[in-house]
Amino acid sequence: MSESTATKSRQPICHGIQETRQLLLEGHSTVTGHVDDVLGAIRGTDPELGAYVEVAEARALREAAAADRLLARLGPAAFRGRPLLGVTVSVKDLIQTDELPTRRGSLLPNHRTAADAPSVARLRAAGAIVVGKTTTSEYGWSASTVGRLGSATRNPWALDRTAGGSSGGSAASVAAGLCTASLGTDGAGSVRIPAAFCGVVGFKPSYGRIPYVPACAERLSHVGPLARSVADVAELMAVLAGPDHRDPDSGAAPPGPTAPPVPAAALAPLRVGWIEFPGTSGPVRDVTEGVLPVLTALGHRVDRIEVPFPDPYGALVDILAAADAHGTAPEDEPWCDEGRLSVVRYGRSLSGAAVARAEATRLALRTRLASVMETYDLLVMATVPIEAFAADAIAPPWAADPADLRWLSWAPAAYPFNLTGQPALSLPVGLTPAGLPVGLQLVGRVGDDGLVLSAAGLLETALGLTLTPPGSTTEGRRP
């Protein structure tokens, strides 16, 4: 494993949301001091990491000063209606923001209105301070952060490895302690894959739970938070969830609590389907298998089951390619990512009947998994069956040629749940012998976001792990 960002000794500056609140209330920290420390860490670390494409230094410091004045005037009352006051967050470069440019990882111009997306506006209204925009592949097309705007985002655990993607900048920024939390998007695993590779928690809620604006016609893309603990993700969800008229699907999201409905310790024993996907590597299997007896000790009934559905990868490719072709004009090609162009050109070859067949496959998958979830409360599996690959690659070698259209096929546990819209969370559960993080994915029924968060929180407590890259500016314990 290559030298990590841990080569420098740093004092922890990023804490969990509740601890940040406590430090501010007790006078052990100020928002301005915290934000200034985070900005300094970004300046010192990000040139080699590549997590950020834009940093909002001036605005972040202005908002921090305003937060300090509010705390001085109101004390604990400052947090009423502002549960994230003083919390530093980053935002993926696919999500619109009002002042910071949103380039969507592309050289192509972005003609969308420069206004905060609902998710960003809700974070700001809750008191969070956006410190910057994070790296993504062009339009989020690949599960890496290789693109034409700059160098690829590198993994804080090993700089020669990928952070994953397409929310790789978000995951790396959280793991390296360059913010407390981040806002990503997930169209085929793009929150959960980098969360697994970087050793943080990444949550894709039920489809429509957080509004996605502008809405996506492929109906695969979810907005989701990344943080260092399940508790922080639950706090973020309490702020982010809820309908917005600009995303019609958000109004159709199933009702139900978004934070844990019961204390994790009081969660009833669950029926768990344990799945191992083909291609799971030995090092990843060894880590995840170590979690199985922990689930059993918590009282859950765990059944080993075969993958209970056929691989829907072909349908995923057709739906994504058709959407990418629709959104890319031939005259735009000179400015496009060459890999994405392979997908676009394939999409232009698809007939309406082919896209209809892909949608029929999606419907069959939803029906099949709804039936499976009558037997099981949760499905559990490795989030990604392999370790993080090379930083400058879009995929492991066997899937790295976009012309083969296999560029996402190496993450077979991720994309099915975009097609079904089920809530899915990646929880860090250990390190391989190479020192690389492994994530375990918990998947619930559509609408059971609270159950997934509760179960993940209970498992996180039982494991007692907080994976922290050596030398990062966050606190935690290594296994």
- Distance from C-alpha of 207 to C-alpha of 209, rounded to nearest angstrom: 6
Measured in degrees and rounded to the nearest 5, phi and psi for residue 328 equal -130, 115
Strand partners of residue 244? 247
Residues in the chain: 479
Question: Which tokens hold the place of 247?
Answer: 């995303």
CB 423 within 8 A of CB 192: no
190 is catalytic: yes
CB 168 within 8 A of CB 140: no
* Cβ partners under 8 Å of residue 378, min gap 6: 270, 271, 272, 273, 442, 443, 444, 451, 452, 455
From 4, 137, 144, 190, the catalytic residue = 190
From 4, 29, 90, 92, the catalytic residue = 92
Question: Which tokens hold the place of 475?
Answer: 């606190």
CB 83 within 8 A of CB 125: no
- Distance from C-alpha of 440 to C-alpha of 314, rounded to nearest angstrom: 25
Q: How far is CA 372 from CA 220, 276, 292, 306, 379, in A?
A: 21, 16, 20, 12, 9
Q: Give the residue among 380, 381, 378, 383 at the shortest CA–CA distance from 444.
A: 378
92 is catalytic: yes
* Cβ partners under 8 Å of residue 231, min gap 6: 16, 17, 18, 457
Q: DSSP character for 316?
A: H
Give SS3 for 154.
Answer: strand
Strand 271-275 relative to strand 158-162, pairing: unpaired
The type of residue at 134 is T
From 29, 106, 166, 454, the catalytic residue = 166
> Which residues does the annotation mark as catalytic?
92, 166, 190
